[in-house]
Structure 1
Amino acid sequence: MRSSSAGPVEQPSLPPVPWPRRWTPPQRSRFPLAAGWLIIALAVVTLVNPAALEAAADEPAGVLGRVLGAALVAGFGTAIILIFHGQRHPVSPPRLINAVTLTRAQRDLPDDWVHFFPERRRGGTMAIGFAVLALLMLGAAVSAVVVILRDPTRDIVVAAFVAIVMGLLGVFFGWAAIRMTIGRVRGGSFGQRAMGLALGRSAVLVTGVELVAIIPWTAIRRVEAKALRLGGRRGSGGEVPTIVLHLDPAAVDADTELAAATFEDSPGDPVFTITAESSDVHPWVIWAALTFFADPARREPLGTTFAQRTLASWAAGVAAVDRVRRR
């Protein structure tokens, strides 16, 4: 099998396609980690406050309740630290692999060798952090239910609201922890079909948990960079870089058209959206590869070690620039 390290290694160079204007420059925010440690510090200060402990001692189970409350707050801060500590920035180059390893071989593939941009294998601490949040939210929901059962006349509306909200949040965070665990298994276990984006000479291949989409280059009308706004103003860190492939419905198969139907840009113009920052490869390299090789005259080297060395040099150049930017 061919390897991405075959042949001489080219010197790092920036991609020939500029960083999209719609994307904000990647920045490393230390605020979430600082907020997590601040929450833990406040919980400890509240717990060891002598005056508060003395007042709590006069009530039944007052000290125990105060300890449990401080532990709940400290656990929330710990979960925040685990989640954001587990966010790794993309640094790897794509890999040159046989396309058969990306599917269950249920149909013929247009390319034998492809350049694979794997989906990022989330850190184990992130999955643990979401699991901790799930346990904390579900524990708070159970506590609210206990309050209702013990004294139905005492703040039943507030307790019921807390139980419902905390219960739903607990289920959501638990689902996130399970999905991340599945992704880690899929991304790091031998024999498991990997997830991500692959570029071949004839087509673009996208594999997910259940999705296998083959998009011929001839079906891609244009490639567009967009920023999915999660809230807040531009540049506030609430934007997710995405790459939108505008497709020709007549040139894609039924499975790909069904997958693209989730992202309808306009009637008769299906699009396929790729979350650029979900890969182990830098978003700039993914964007440059899709736009650069969209030109048919440039696709001939795809699937060879020559194109792999070119992509690896782009990744090394971007990584060098990114390290300077994040300092």
Structure 2
Amino acid sequence: MSFFKRLKDAIVQKSEAVTQKFTDGLAKTRDLLVEKVEDLVRRYKKLDENFFEELEEILIAADVGVNTVMELIDELRSEVRKHKIENALDLQPILSEKLVNLLKNDNTASTELNVETGRLNVILFVGVNGVGKTTTIGKMAHMFKQQGKKVIMAAGDTFRAAAIEQLEVWGDRVGVEVIKHSQGADPAAVIFDAVHAAKSRGADILLCDTAGRLQNKVNLMEELNKVYRVLQREIPNAPHEVLLVLDATTGQNALSQAKTFGQSAGVTGIVLTKLDGTAKGGIVIAIRNELQIPVKYVGLGEKMDDLQPFDPEQFVHALFAGLIEEKETEEKE
């Protein structure tokens, strides 16, 4: 069975609506990455160094990550020597499978959220300003509420009045209570009150916003550590998730932020926003391969239900959607 047939079979049981969201959301990345690779393999009848140099440029342009690309190209060269491949077309399914394997990297933790029934689950959100952190919290609140869970949101970004107001707007929109203090208040005090409110109301989920912390702002990192201490004193093993929100449109800058926060904030997973607005979707591959931090959710649009759990098979299927249909037509003929 061909790679593309196996890939499609793996998606059959998935929701058609979700599959379409991934397909639509990854259109720009598909145009840059897959279609350019497709054009490349059709132009080169024979594999040579120029082919590999062009392929390298395409992958780096899609922000697959320089280190990941170099490893990938070395592996492809090895496959060419090992199997005596001469035609570039024969290399394409090998490249596709290797991308799948990178996304399914077994060394990374689960892509599912650490949420358990019967306890107050605390999810802390970190990341710099402007990446869509507050919007992500609002969308996740909506998602959990749709699942029948009782949700509380904590406006822990007290440095910006706009952040508190924005979370309140989301709270009204999705029907979720927001615990807040005034601008300039101690974020740890907000989180403390939110924990007690969540406990008293029998909440299942507590979603905590934090200030947009830049890696060079030592005082803000210390503030975050204070929030950690409050949570751990009030709830054993909290926070249960620390989600770093990254803007996919920033490409390699997102990878740099992930490295910094991963080292200093105990990040357990990544939410990649605005994936539909960029051709740099390859950053998902770079993050998973280079940082061993799982991408848990991706933003595929501006609607309330456009925050989707990350699924490696859905991601690859969406990237290669047109190519899969083309291969199926060829095989039928």
Shared fold by TM > 0.5? no
TM-score under structure 1 length normalisation: 0.24
More helix by share: 2
Larger Rg: 1
Q: TM-score, length-normalised on structure 2?
A: 0.24
